[in-house]
Amino acid sequence: MSKQISQLKKEKKNADDMIVEMREVGDRIKTIDQELKQVEEELEILMLSIPNIPHESTPIGGETEDDNMEVRNWGERYQPFHLRKKHIGTWGGQN
């Protein structure tokens, strides 16, 4: 469109209508960009409020911790203090 405007000016013709139209298009672009920014911010807020989707292998239900399925573990299992061997019992073969 700017080429058309420059061509009209070279030919000494009136290009005011095209210039006004270009300014209106620029103003519309600014308005649309502002609306887009607002919509993107609202979308981000909505996306952050949606929880992650569980993997398809995740068991459904599970009311208590005992219902959980162990996939893998690392290190030694925790043994409650009262079930551990006492040091006195280990040196003599006694429990």
Q: Check pLDDT > 70 for residue 95.
A: no
pLDDT in tens, 5-61: 777 666 667 767 777 888 899 999 999 999 999 999 999 999 999 999 988 887 777
> Is 23 domain-assigned?
yes
> Is 55 domain-assigned?
no
Residue 91 and residue 74: Cα distance in Å, rounded?
29
> Is 25 domain-assigned?
yes
Q: Which residue has the tokens 């959980």?
A: 68
Q: Is the pTM of this model over 0.85?
A: no
The encoded tokens of residue 86 equal 């006492």
Structural domain including 20 reads 15-49
> Is 29 domain-assigned?
yes
Count of CA atoms in the C-beta half-sphere (13 A) of 86: 6
pLDDT for residue 20: 84
Query: How many structural domains compose the chain?
Result: 1
Query: 3-state DSSP: the chain helix, strand, coil percent, rounded to 5?
Result: 55, 0, 45
